[in-house]
Amino acid sequence: MSSKEVSQSVEKFRKADYDIDPIFINRWSPRSFLDKEVSEELLFSTLEAARWAPSSMNVQPWRFVIARTKEDRERFHSFIMDGNRTWCETAPAYILLISEAKGPHAFDTGTAWGYLSLQAAQNGLITHAMGGFHKDKAREALNIPEEYALHAVIAIGYQGEKETLPEDIQKREQPSERRPLKESIYEGKFS
């Protein structure tokens, strides 16, 4: 599917209340991945964008554990929950997003994830962040010290056809809507 076709498809499900750059609407989290390697140049370009995310006192608490080889991806499969494994195993790369658990690390690391996901879209890639993984198993399998918080496993690659997914997942393979902006805003005080 071309980027124009993807954009037209996304427009069926998403409309911004106010004028914003189309990348924010067009970025979503597909589950269907092509079995096609992501070049180091594109992967590292995506990670480079995350590197430039703002952070409190410039601590930059985020870290990325990446899996690109068959052996490393299989190690990740050992801690990704079965519900996610049914669709993510064709992804050519994974990123485990972790952070040094100090100060507002989760806020800062979430910002890095946002930058990463937008740069991936700019690079013609898709991302899907998964909270469905066993953190204790991931920590052990990847030798992650206790002072680091584990946030998400991100599948990254090129978008495939939804017909390659199990039928029950195909039904969910579309951009999600967002509630109207006014439902998220409280002016002056929370009420």
The per-residue pLDDT for range 105-155, each reduced to its tens digit, is: 999 999 999 999 999 999 999 999 999 999 999 999 999 999 999 999 999
Indicate whether 55 belongs to any domain.
yes
Q: Which helix (H) or strand (E) holds 63?
A: strand 62-67
Indicate whether 13 belongs to any domain.
no
Indicate whether 99 belongs to any domain.
yes
CB 67 within 8 A of CB 94: yes
CB 10 within 8 A of CB 175: yes
pLDDT for position 191: 83
**Whether residue 8 has pLDDT greater than 90:** no
Across all residues in the chain, what is the average pLDDT?
Answer: 94
For residue 164, the 8-state DSSP code is: G
Q: How confident is the model at residue 187 (pLDDT cuts 50, 70, 90)?
A: very high
Indicate whether 8 belongs to any domain.
no
**Whether residue 6 has pLDDT greater than 90:** no
Interacting residues of 154 by C-beta distance below 8 A, sequence separation 6+:
94, 95, 96, 97, 113, 116, 117, 127, 128, 129, 130
**By residue range, what is the domain housing residue 54?**
37-161
Indicate whether 20 belongs to any domain.
no
In the predicted model, what is the mean pLDDT of residues 156-160? 97
pLDDT for position 1: 43
Q: What CATH number corresponds to the domain at position 117?
A: 3.40.109.10
For residue 93, which phi and psi values (nearest 5 degrees)?
-155, 155
**Whether residue 20 has pLDDT greater than 90:** yes
Segment among 73-77, 116-120, 143-147, 174-178 with least mean pLDDT:
174-178
**Total number of domains constituting the chain:** 1
Q: How confident is the model at residue 9 (pLDDT cuts 50, 70, 90)?
A: low
Q: Give the predicted TM-score (pTM) of the model.
A: 0.92
pLDDT for position 87: 96
Q: How confident is the model at residue 13 (pLDDT cuts 50, 70, 90)?
A: confident
- The pLDDT tens digits for 27-45 are 999 999 999 999 999 999 9
